[in-house]
């Protein structure tokens, strides 16, 4: 009887000394899209818009500045982003105003009055979500694709990157739609790469000719507090 009691006491002491398993902590990844008043990001943009008679090319600098914030009745903060264009990086003209809202699980960017779920948290490679969840457009599944820390973007100082694949339809007889955005930790958006084409597939002068389309290359050239 005494022996059994000693064994029981020993087992109780043994299990009581074991450390509780630690919870797995996953960083949400908010720093892939930092939001601070006065923050700016400057990009070099090359854009070609295609129609039935060829392409129209434009090149310009784009400067985005978080200029103000609004607090709604429920405490939600909406940040205003003033977007300026310039062909020489000296004479800037206001082009548009977008808004940002960061929630616990989603980063929403409203572009020309259309809200898009640009990021979802936590940021994990392979994770997917509906980028059109907050607008009336058809479902569009975005997903994360990890990039090397030694990516080719020199202006980011070797940051950690995540790529958002918006669409990945390779060229076919009807269309091509390949769009991606790259974000860097501590910086935010550093690159946009959009290629979208609609091809003529019937009753056209040349099968496969471009009916409409767009190529957009946007690369970060500067960032910081204003």
Residue 187 forms part of a structural domain: yes
Q: Is residue 49 part of a domain?
A: yes
Task: Quickly state the pLDDT bin for 104 (edges 50, 70, 90).
Answer: very high
Condensed to tens digits (0 to 9), the pLDDT of residues 209-219 reads 888 999 999 99
Query: 76-99 pLDDT, tens per residue?
Result: 899 999 999 999 999 999 999 999
Instruction: Tell me which residue range forms the domain holding 84.
Output: 27-225
Q: Measure the CA–CA gap between 187 and 192, rounded to whole angstroms.
A: 14
Return the pLDDT at 15: 45
This prediction's pTM: 0.83
The number of folded domains in the chain is 1
Domain assignment of residue 111, yes or no: yes
Residue in 101, 112, 113, 105 with CA at minimum distance from that of residue 72? 101
Tell me, yes or no, whether 20 lies in a domain: no
Query: Where is pLDDT greater, at 9 or 124?
Result: 124
Structural domain contains residue 168: yes
Q: Are 176 and 196 in contact (CB under 8 A)?
A: yes
Place 51 in a pLDDT band, splitting at 50, 70 and 90. Answer: confident
- Asked if residue 43 is part of any domain, the answer here is yes
Q: What is the pLDDT of residues 125-157, one digit of tens each?
A: 999 999 999 999 999 999 999 876 545 555 566
Residue 202 lies in a domain: yes
Residue 81 within any structural domain of the chain: yes
Tokens of 128: 């997917």
Least confident of 3-7, 64-68, 97-101, 191-195: 3-7
């Amino acid at each position: 009887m005494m022996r059994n009691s000693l064994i029981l006491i020993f087992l109780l002491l043994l299990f009581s000394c074991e450390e509780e398993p630690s919870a797995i902590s996953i960083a949400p990844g908010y720093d892939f899209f930092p939001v601070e008043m006065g923050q700016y990001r400057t990009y070099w943009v090359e854009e070609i818009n295609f129609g039935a008679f060829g392409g129209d090319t434009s090149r310009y600098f784009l400067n985005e500045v978080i200029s103000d914030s609004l607090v709604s009745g429920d405490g939600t903060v909406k940040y205003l982003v003033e977007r300026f264009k310039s062909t020489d990086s000296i004479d800037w003209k206001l082009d548009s105003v977008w808004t940002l809202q960061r929630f616990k699980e989603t980063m929403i960017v409203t572009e020309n009055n259309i809200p898009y779920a640009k990021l979802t948290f936590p940021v994990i490679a392979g994770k997917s979500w509906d980028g059109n969840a907050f607008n009336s457009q058809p479902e569009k599944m975005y997903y994360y694709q990890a990039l090397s820390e030694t990516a080719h973007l020199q202006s980011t100082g070797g940051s950690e990157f995540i790529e958002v694949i918006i669409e990945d339809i390779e060229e076919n007889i009807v269309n091509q739609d390949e769009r991606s955005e790259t974000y860097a930790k501590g910086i935010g958006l550093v690159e946009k790469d959009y290629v979208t084409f609609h091809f003529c597939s019937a009753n056209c002068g040349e099968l496969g000719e471009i009916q409409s389309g767009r190529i957009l290359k946007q690369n970060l050239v500067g960032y910081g507090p204003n």
